[in-house]
Amino acid sequence: MLLAIDCGNTNTVFSIWDGEKFLCTLRTSTHHARTADAYFTWYSTLVKHYGIEADITDVIISSTVPRVVFNLRVFADRFFGCRPLVVGKPETLLPFKPRVDEGTQVGPDRLVNTAGAFDRHGGDLIVVDFGTATTFDVVAHDGAYVGGVIAPGVNLSLEALHLAAAALPHVDISKPQKVIGTNTVECIQSGVFWGYVGLVREICSRIKGEYGAPMQVISTGGLAPLFQQSADLFDAFEEDLTMHGLTVIHRYNKENGSV
Ligand SMILES: Nc1ncnc2c1ncn2[C@@H]1O[C@H](COP(=O)(O)OP(=O)(O)OP(=O)(O)O)[C@@H](O)[C@H]1O
Ligand SMILES: CC(C)(CO)[C@@H](O)C(=O)NCCC(=O)O
Ligand SMILES: [K+]
């Protein structure tokens, strides 16, 4: 069985797969100081709670936080006796070579999203991921990552307003019924929600213009459904794109003999 780990700047998600069959997802916040033993305590409690007979033989990790990888490696070795595949490390093969400036380290989550999206939709894509950052990944006709856009995440923008302005409260995102807010909370929600609708529309339109061939726009990430409801921003929504991408990269490495 495969344990796929997607470690973002805010949240860390584990998902367990029996071959192609998805078994469960476990979510915790990302902490670079969490030890291998602490991961196992948390993991084994939840696996038991869900009644899953997890016999993990393989582990794959994508981490946007380099410092957590050490403890996750120890976790995989100590509790499952395996050497994990770490996306972005030279020993982990990718189905494509990113076409970016020399020396650029593309975020592993973006490489994983690229692999997952290409597997499901083929090439010529824009993948929009609403995580800590809002990222746009351009996937070429052959499945290669060829660049993109990084914008501040929705929750980060809301938090920044609260932190920087004494009179602005912390507000959760939601879709406002109108644009003109008549109280502070509505004004902030309107600014961030409609601001992101505009941001996504403008960036996708400019990417398409520059790319010069028809493209599909695929959305993923916790907040994607909220934006999906509004306007026709996306052609498809993929709830588990990063996890799917991890299984694709794992399979590719199995088939090509790197694990
Ligand atoms: N309607 C909503 N309002 C506020 N937050 C939401 C809503 N729906 C989902 N979320 C949040 O979205 C987050 C899930 O997002 P996702 O896993 O894509 O990225 P993340 O964990 O925020 O970022 P990263 O992967 O960079 O750590 C969760 O924290 C969840 O609480
Ligand atoms: C942009 C984030 C933070 C999104 O999770 C991550 O992909 C990252 O740290 N990227 C590194 C820089 C880059 O992708 O070009
Ligand atoms: K994410």
Stated as kind and residue range, the H or E segment containing 184 is: helix 184-211
Distance CA 197, CA 256 (A): 41
Rg (CA), the chain: 19
Is the distance from CB of 56 to CB of 80 less than 8 angstroms? Answer: yes
Does this model's pTM top 0.90? My answer is: yes
231 — pLDDT class (breaks 50, 70, 90): low
Class of residue 116 by CB neighbours under 10 A (exposed 0-12, middle 13-18, buried 19+): buried
Same fold, 2-86 and 108-244: yes
Active site residues: 109
7 — pLDDT class (breaks 50, 70, 90): very high
What is the β-pairing status of strands 85-86 and 145-152?
Answer: unpaired
Which ligand is closest in space to the CA of residue 7?
1
State the helix-helix crossing angle for 184-211 and 154-164, rounded to 10 degrees.
Answer: 140
| Range list of β-strands (E), 140-199 | 145-152
Ligand 1 proximity of 10 Cβ (cutoff 6 Å): yes
**217 phi, psi to nearest 5 deg:** -110, 120
- Residue 241 C-alpha to ligand 3 middle, in angstroms? 9
Ligand 1 proximity of 226 Cβ (cutoff 6 Å): yes
pLDDT at 228: 87
2-86 sits in which CATH class? alpha beta
258 — pLDDT class (breaks 50, 70, 90): confident
Q: Judge whether 7 is annotated as a binding position.
A: yes
Domain ranges of the chain: 2-86, 108-244
Pocket test for ligand 1, best of 7, 9, 10, 188 (most atoms within 8 A of CB): 10
Residue with tokens 């003999």: 257
- Residue 130 C-alpha to ligand 1 middle, in angstroms? 8
**Residue nearest to ligand 1 atom 24, measured at CA:** 8
Pocket test for ligand 1, best of 9, 223, 241 (most atoms within 8 A of CB): 223
What is 108-244's CATH number, 3.30.420.40, 3.40.50.300, 1.10.20.140, 3.20.20.140?
3.30.420.40
Per residue in 69-85, pLDDT (tens digit) is 999 999 999 999 999 99
Q: Judge whether 6 is annotated as a binding position.
A: yes
Per residue in 97-138, pLDDT (tens digit) is 999 999 999 999 999 999 999 999 999 999 999 999 999 999
